[in-house]
Structure 1
């Protein structure tokens, strides 16, 4: 189970922010684009090894990413178009953040590539499950919400303990976890979807 499964329930915790967003005339798409922009800033900050700014930008990305869906539900304007935009922005945000960490030297590039492929494949399998009619798959050991929380924790710990541990920064160790767990999650989602598709075939 991952934190992504609780996304529909965050509206109860975001009511004050939703109220402010409505008063300001903000839309879910504006917040989605906002999450894209702050993710870009996070990537740039990590590239220049400014862990504090990068982590704060990741925090804003997490808030915007949760708030856009909650706002859409509050306004009763959920749509496939908005969902599509959200998924595309999320993938670019993942790329910005992870590439920023390893391209700037906070993690070795092989670990960064492993993390990037693991994250993208796990996310792809989740949406591909929906594309083939099984439904959005949030299962597996590591979802996007989990990754954002872990980046925040690792980022702030990195500030407190900047020295490498066994030759790697805390953020590098985190990317290694993302890579391994991401591919495990992708495999779990593939197996689940494959089995569900088999059940559909048997019913026919």
Structure 2
């Protein structure tokens, strides 16, 4: 939802930051990989129970996730492969954090929270999957309350303020609400497009 509202609104201030720092000389893909490495560090901190450290690292990794795309657009190094790789790395980053929580709760013998984490992980995987599949049939499907930006903010807040149990509940519920929202939205859009008269006109050669 935040990503859909803001779009590339942050590009201007980020472009200023990029041009004023060494970031302009770093390849966007390198920034993507640095963000992934920081998320691995955050995952290690979660497993060890260093919650505040984990939360700060998640926020820093999120900053790199914003900077890689903004840097690519600022220095004119956008590419189809870069966009593809960024999406794949995002999935790794999502899952490494959630798996670290599953490991932590397994060590703590908190089976119920471990189960909730697994449910949240499933929803997290399905959110980008439903969008990718939907956009094979409709132009865009970025609806939903729990996109990646919201999930990052929640995980960071849960770690920093020691409310991760609540955050896991929210993720387990709202990731799946987002999935069902995207399924419904795609069904509705497909139905609407199938009823458009232009499809009949094309068949008639008009």
Q: In the alignment, which residue of structure 1 is the partner of 2:2? A: 3
Shift of 1:187: 0.7
Within the candidate set 121, 129, 138, 1:124 is matched to 129
Correspondence for 2:165:
172
CA contact (8 A) 1:58 1:148 kept: yes
Question: 1:15 aligned to 2:15?
Answer: yes
* Cα distance per residue 1:94-133 (max 9 Å; x no partner): 1011111231127621011011011111121122223x14
**Cα distance, 1:136 vs. partner?**
4.1
Task: From 171, 182, 187, give the equivalent of 2:180.
Answer: 187
**Offset at residue 73 of structure 1 (A):** 1.3
Taking the aligned partners of 2:166 and 2:83, their CA distance within structure 1 comes to: 32
Give the match for residue 99 of structure 2.
99
Provide structure 1 residue ranges, at least 5 long, that are not aligned to the other structure: 159-169
| Structure 2: segments with no counterpart, 5+ residues | 200-206
The separation in 2 between residues aligned to 1:121 and 1:9, in whole angstroms, is 27
1: CA distance, partners of 2:12 / 2:64:
15
In 2, Cα distance between the equivalents of 1:102 and 1:32?
25
2:126 and 2:179 in contact (8 A); partners too: yes
Contact 1:36 1:92 in 2 (8 A): yes
| Deviation at residue 15 of structure 1 after TM alignment | 3.1
Q: Does 1:144 align with 2:143?
A: no
- Cα distance in structure 2, aligned partners of 1:79 and 1:151: 30
Displacement of 1:67 in angstroms is 0.7
How far apart are 1:4 and its partner, in Å?
A: 1.5
**Aligned residue runs from structure 1 range 17-166, under 5 A:** 17-19=17-19, 20-23=21-24, 25-105=25-105, 108-130=113-135, 132-158=136-162
C-alpha root-mean-square deviation of aligned residues, in Å? 1.8
